[in-house]
Amino acid sequence: MSEGKANKDVIVVKIMRFDPATDAEPHFETYEVPKYEVGRQTVSKVLEYIFENIDPSLSYYHTCNRGICNGCVAMINGKAELMCMTESPDEVTIEPVPHHRVVRDLVVVPEEEDRPRRRVLERSSKSKYL
């Protein structure tokens, strides 16, 4: 996009990228995505466009697309929101939610799933029904 001339036909998307296998530190990459002429363009649809047309290495969580599973939660312009339910503004910054281990890019493992299951296993091993 040329300086001083905002393009009203695109959404400028800044995504925090990080692959623990290859990257020392997280970094941002910027993409331009065409706006829909008609209809609602969610952040999830914007990421889908990037993955299918610009950068197939982008990793993000996409499943129900109805706001039910809460799997697609991310920091959208500094606020934790569901990507499938949030309409994309003209300029958007997307980051993984804090306090979660980043698997890659926007895919995270919730903190509670990363903890050992010691208490559950102890209870299971003492159960008379096992």
Rg over alpha carbons for the chain, rounded to the nearest Å, is 18
Spell out the domains of the chain, with CATH numbers in brackets: 10-126 (3.10.20.30)
Cα separation, 88 vs 118, whole angstroms: 41
Q: Comparing C-alpha atoms, which of 68, 71, 127, 74 is closest to residue 105? A: 74
Lowest model confidence (mean pLDDT) among 42-46, 64-68, 76-80: 64-68
For residue 44, give the 3-state DSSP assignment. helix
Split at pLDDT 50, 70, 90, the class of 4 is: very low
Q: CA dist 124 to 113, 127, 129, Å?
A: 18, 5, 9
DSSP state of 58: -
pTM > 0.75: yes or no: yes
